[in-house]
Amino acid sequence: MNNNVDFLVIGSGMAGLIYALKVAPAGKVCILSKINMDETATKYAQGGIAAVMYDPDNYDKHIEDTINAGVGLNDENIVKIAINESTERIQELAEWGTQFDKESTGKYSLAKEGGHSEYRILHHKDNTGNEIQRALSEKVKNHPNITILENHLAIDLITQHHKGKLVKRKNTDTTCYGAYVLNKESGDIITLLAKTTMLATGGIGNIYQTTTNPTLSTGDGVAMAYRAKAQIDNLEFVQFHPTSLYNTGEKPSFLITEAMRGAGADLVTRKGAPFMYKYDTRGSLAPRDIVARAIDNEMKISGDEFVYLDTRKIEKNEIINHFPTIYAKCLSIGIDITKEMIPVVPAAHYACGGIVTDEHGQTSIHNLFAAGEVANTGLHGANRLASNSLLESAVFSHRAAIKASSLIPGLEFEKDIPDWNDEGTVLNEEMILITQSKKELQSLMSNYVGIVRSNLRLKRALDRLNIIYQETEDLFDKSIVSEPICELRNMINVAYLVIKLAMKRTNSIGLHYNLDYPK
């Protein structure tokens, strides 16, 4: 392949694939995926995608629910855009082949999740993400303008910095010219030049010990953009999903969708006592920050390692038809959820912040776009409303595609970009240096920067992170580039941003709860 493309797309989840399909009529597209194309967080999405479809729901109610969940830190203009365009984006996904479940009347079957005042979650059983990924992948694979490079890891974005110019975060002329990319199979590092680059690299969950995110979610996009001097914000708001399956040693943690609570399941203590009404009038269907904190508190009071989700009120048929994946998974470990309760714990799930983008997906760096979980559009504020992230991916990758396509006629490929400099590097033969640092990082993030934080815990986390940072940068400079060292470096950058942004806050709000500022 000639290494010049009009549109470089880093990431093959929902955001990357929608964007790729929409820019493809305007030029040559290359999609990178660091594993195989269909291994994405998108594929694991269970509950569904939130959108306004029928009465009695309306845009104003969904807007209000989103802002309530986000405790008002949302960007109101962005919230309105996302929700007012939701119906259109669903229609398009359906036209492209996504099979959302329907009622016998032909209308879409809509579920309810925490913080939603209406039934508005479109779904495909309990594996909606897999269905969306399938439909989009099929379309992308058949497109003549799109090349897919699997097992290719973007290492760093190319900017003026690589031409010897000092690039600072406050500069307004920083421009992205493409990326340095590791072919994981050959070990070659490609200089991939692009007129426009889209970061659609997904989430950051693996900076924590327990997460629902697949192993690929190591915050690469945020870290690359940060090193390239883009604006990053809102990352202190890390969402912990209240109900991941308690199954010691399983990584990633298996999710028990919130839609089960929407269908009538209740949270109870290990002794079987309901507890959510002590914390919120909405009970088990309160927004996630409240539910996750309540579970954390109940576990601290009782000393138990989990609470139960009691699904026994849901009809057996409903469980088997609507939640077949969860039913089968629990059965595989000896729990029949039509008769027994599911042990659950909170797990890191979603990054509400990320790379700052405008309403067209543009970052603060010229010709660099971001969409999906990696972006901070302003939709979520201090806490994401359930099932609003797939919606965000659909709306803002669509908008970014329109903008990026319009830029192409006025852009040239940058010249005189040097190849990746690996002078003086050697093969790192001590993987333990990387694996141990990764464990330390995950442990300090879980223990000091989790659901409940304090100033002292945050400071401890930062002090320890600084040591790991220095050691890893030294190792990176000396090592032949590999995926594990790149991912560790990225996770350290992202953890640093979460901690620094959390330290800046002098209040507790939404997902950021600091014992020193109880209000």
CA gap 384, 71 in Å, rounded: 10
Q: How many CB atoms lie within 10 A of CB 191?
A: 17
Q: Which of 11, 13, 16, 47 binds ligand SIN (CB under 6 A)?
A: 47
Q: Least distance from C-beta 470 to ligand FAD, angstroms?
A: 23
Q: Within 305-344, which residues bind ligand SIN (CB under 6 A)?
A: none
Q: By C-alpha distance, which of 202, 441, 106, 14 is closest to 22?
A: 14
CB of residue 354 vs ligand FAD: minimum separation in angstroms?
9
DSSP-assigned letter for residue 417: P
Task: Please report whether residue 46 would count as binding ligand SIN according to CB under 6 A.
Answer: yes
Q: Among 96-104, 222-230, 383-391, 433-441, which window interacts with ligand SIN (CB under 6 A)?
A: 383-391
Strands of 342-351's sheet in order across: 238-245, 342-351, 307-310, 266-268
Which residue in this structure is represented by tokens 């609570």?
261
Rounded CA separation 83/394 (Å): 11
Q: Which does 153 bind (CB under 5 to 8 A by kind): ligand FAD, ligand SIN, none?
A: ligand FAD
Residue 220 touches which of ligand FAD, ligand SIN, none (Cβ within 5-8 Å per kind): ligand FAD
Q: Least CB distance from residue 241 to ligand FAD, whole Å?
A: 8
Q: Which is nearer to ligand FAD, 389 or 493 (CB)?
A: 389
- For residue 338, the SS3 value is coil
CA distance 272 to 251: 27
Nearest distance from C-beta of residue 153 to ligand FAD, angstroms: 4
Query: Per rule CB under 6 A, is residue 367 in the interface with ligand SIN?
Result: no
Q: Using an 8 Å Cβ cutoff, are 515 and 356 in contact? A: no
d(CA 50, CA 89): 11
Instruction: Select from 14-22, 319-327, 381-389, 415-423 the region that touches ligand SIN (CB under 6 A).
Output: 381-389
Span of 137-145, 168-176, 313-321, 385-393 interacting with ligand SIN by CB under 6 A: 385-393
Annotated catalytic residues are: 288
The verdict on 346 binding ligand SIN (CB under 6 A) reads no
Interface residues with ligand FAD (CB under 6 A)?
10-16, 32-35, 40-42, 44-49, 128-129, 153-154, 200-203, 212-213, 216-217, 220, 255, 350, 372-374, 387-390, 393
Q: Coil, helix or strand for 203?
A: coil
| Token code pair at residue 231 | 């604006």
Which residues, listed in sequence order, are joined to residue 453 by a DSSP beta bridge?
514
Rounded (5°) CA angle 203-385-286: 125
Which listed residue (210, 253, 357, 389) binds ligand SIN by CB under 6 A? 389
Give yes or no for a contact between 377 and 351, defined as CB atoms under 8 angstroms apart: no
For position 12 contacting ligand SIN by CB under 6 A, the verdict is no
* Residue 386 interacting with ligand SIN (CB under 6 A): yes
Residue with tokens 């139960």: 308
Q: What SS3 class is residue 244?
A: strand
Considering the complex, state which of residue 252 and residue 450 has its C-beta at the smaller distance from ligand FAD.
Answer: 252
- Please report how close the Cβ of residue 169 comes to ligand FAD at its closest, in angstroms: 21
Cβ proximity to ligand SIN: between 127 and 437 the closer is 127
Rule CB under 6 A: say whether 258 interacts with ligand SIN. yes
Q: Which amino acid is at 495?
A: A
Told to check if 131 binds ligand SIN by CB under 6 A, we report no
Binding of residue 514 to ligand SIN (CB under 6 A): no
The reply on whether position 397 binds ligand SIN by CB under 6 A is no
Q: Are strands 49-50 and 121-122 parallel, antiparallel or unpaired?
A: antiparallel
Backbone angles phi, psi at 100, to 5 degrees: -80, 145
**Cα separation, 3 vs 147, whole angstroms:** 11
3-state secondary structure string across 347-373: EEEEECCEEECCCCCECCCECEEECHH
Q: Report the residue number whose CB is nearest to ligand SIN.
A: 47
Whichever of 389 and 405 has its CB closer to ligand SIN, that residue is 389
> How many residues in the shown chain lie near ligand SIN by CB under 6 A?
9
Query: Footprint of ligand SIN on this chain (CB under 6 A)?
Result: 46-47, 257-259, 350, 386-387, 389
